[in-house]
Chain A
Amino acid sequence: MPVPTERKAQLLSGNEACVQGAIAAGVRFFAGYPITPSTEIAEGLAVELPKIGGKFIQMEDEIASMGAVIGASLAGLKSMTATSGPGFSLKQENIGFAALTEIPCVIVNVQRYGPSTGLPTSPAQGDIMQARWGTHGDHPAIALMPASVREAFDLTVQAVNLSEELRTPVILLMDEVVGHMRERVELPATDEITVVNRVKPTEDPEHFLPYKPGPNLVPPMPAFGDGYRFHVTGLVHNETGFPSGKGKDGNILVRRLLAKIEQRQPSIAQAELYQADDADIVIVAAGSVARSARAAVKEARAQGLKLGLVRPITAWPFPAEAINSVATTAKAMIVAEMNLGQMIIEVERAACGRVPVIGLNRIDAELITPQDIIARAQEVTKNVR
């Protein structure tokens, strides 16, 4: 196995850890088109996949690579792609196709400064809403935001597992800072990693209905070539998988797509709370910004200012419960993000007006610093007293 069975301290980048996580989770197909700051993931998998019988293919563009990923997943392989803003935009149509047709796949988006080509090598967190609503129509969304190299590994494994279990595209929403920074990390041993595989049908192929949901609302999925005949279409379909052209089938199908995530939501939505219980001001920050926030909490507390941190690990489903848990104890919340206010919308929604919610936003291509956060917290302290 490529993943060492013994823990060993090493220096890895978030992108390198993502490669290791993909291999450990059982990803055996990658198609992509290189783009900064995600390229190291493609490079890493181009080296690692062939060694273990996997396939790597560099496609002509991002649209085609998303198509190849969907095709490979239908053929039975756990499949993944990696990109950044401009490529993420191009992949949206096929992400919607994968959502409607229930094809497991993982899309890594190492966020960079946008819109458009923007600042290719600079960090941002401007794709939080795109990860939810980038493709058209009502659809489920799962997006995970690692804040460390170890978490880049763990959440890659989790992204693959969730996509397999729920037959849905899952987005690993990194940012340039986490993707490119290297830090000391001990990866888990092989036997410490849980790997989930898609459920396959067991019934007689003669009577197989490809979109008949199982008890968890997820239809079992055969691979092409397993002996089950099925049809895959982006048109609204019924349990037979064939286009039906009927609104009532769309009503059943799209509601089920959302429900299969919603019924799992309490265990999918995750957040980390750090010194949040007794905090006067709670910082809400995800990804690399959460590291700055953690440093700010430590430094501010040493100065007598009681800060705390809620760090959403899943951007989607948004961990509203974690916000709820501090909305009545904190005097104010500061949402720090490298965009002009995306996650704050969800925080406000969860806080329901019980606590003032203030934004701290930077879009000058620099990571928000602990000092930025402390300065804003001091300002807010004056105003809420």
Chain B
Amino acid sequence: MKKLELRLSGFGGQGLITAGIILAEAAILDGNNAVQSQSYGPEARGGASKAEVIISNEEIDYPKVGEADLCLAMSQQACDKYAAQTRPNGILVVDSGLVKNIPEFPGRIYAVPITEIATSEVGRGIVANIVALGVINGITNIVTKESLETAVLDRVPPKTKDLNKKALKAGYQAAQKVLQREGE
């Protein structure tokens, strides 16, 4: 496999750093190398937050993401900032409930109501990050489904395993939907 660089962006409290960790752990379970890094403001919630993940079967030197192959934007501010730092032939996934104006982007764009799916379909807004992982992996198959589920269940509190399984499934289903729409 070639090197894949992902950027998960939004605001603090959305669980993006956790999502980045889970994705990197899934990549390791697949036998690949992974580096995860992050930047965040001094406040725990509400400030801008971003997690970056690099997956490769080779050594990973520079740990940061320059131009991402895939960008997840879970706030308007993040989308405005990071759409332009995504490869022109890359993928932009936006939470359509939070990003109203999608900037010009030459690559593939997928608009999915991620937080709304978490709130109404799964029943808890807090699992929006896991829904997002399902969406991203449903679209890209960056990691195997088995590894992603194992990584999710290893990271979440034991009592929330079923909830998170449901969230992951809802994400995969939403990905199927947007892919079908794209095919039509």
Contact = CB atoms under 8 A, between A and B. Distances in A.
A182 B34 CA distance: 8
Contact of B42 (A120, A181, A184): A120
Contacts of B137: none
A149 B82 CA distance: 27
Secondary structure call for the A interface: mixed
A121 B63 contact: no
B133 to A, nearest CB: 15
A11 B40 contact: no
Contacts of A294: 61
B34 A11 contact: yes
A265 B31 CA distance: 40
Given A10-B28, A120-B42, A121-B42, A184 B34 contact: yes
B62 A295 contact: yes
Interface string A1-45: 000000001110000000000000000000000001000000000
Secondary structure call for the B interface: mixed
A182 B66 contact: no
B37 A11 contact: no
Given A291-B61, A292-B62, A369-B62, A182 B39 contact: no
B38 interface: yes
A51 B38 CA distance: 30
Interface size class of A (residues with CB under 8 A): 20 to 34
A319 interface: no
Nearest to B32: A184
A37 B24 CA distance: 21
B37 A184 contact: no
Nearest to A290: B61
A180 B64 CA distance: 12
Contacts of A371: 66
Nearest to B40: A121
A166 interface: no
B25 A177 contact: no
Nearest to B28: A184
A288 B37 CA distance: 12
Contacts of A295: 61-62
Interface in B30-74: 32-42, 60-64, 66
A291 B62 CA distance: 5
Contacts of B21: 11, 182
Interface size class of B (residues with CB under 8 A): 20 to 34
A59 B36 CA distance: 32
Contact of B24 (A11, A180, A367, A369): A11
A274 to B, nearest CB: 10
A377 B129 CA distance: 41
Given A11-B25, A121-B39, A183 B62 contact: no
Contact of A183 (B34, B38, B64): B34
Contacts of A180: 37-38
Contact of A288 (B28, B33, B63, B66): B63
A176 to B, nearest CB: 10
Nearest to A185: B28
A245 B60 CA distance: 56
A370 interface: yes
Contact of B33 (A36, A181, A183, A367): A183
B61 A183 contact: no
A163 to B, nearest CB: 29
Interface in B7-37: 21, 24-25, 28, 32-37
Contacts of B34: 11, 183-184
A298 interface: yes
Nearest to A120: B42
B156 to A, nearest CB: 15
Nearest to B58: A298
Interface string A91-129: 000000000000000000000000000001100000000
Contact of A181 (B37, B40, B66): B37
A182 B21 CA distance: 8
Nearest to A289: B62
Interface string A259-291: 000000000000000000000000000001001
Interface in A159-195: 177, 180-184
Interface of B: 21, 24-25, 28, 32-42, 60-64, 66
28 contacts: A9-B28, A10-B28, A11-B28, A36-B42, A121-B40, A121-B42, A177-B63, A181-B36, A181-B37, A181-B63, A182-B35, A182-B36, A183-B33, A183-B34, A183-B60, A183-B63, A184-B24, A184-B32, A184-B33, A184-B34, A291-B63, A295-B61, A295-B62, A367-B63, A369-B62, A369-B64, A369-B66, A371-B66
Given A11-B24, A183-B34, 8 more contacts: A121-B40, A177-B37, A183-B33, A184-B24, A298-B61, A367-B62, A367-B63, A371-B66
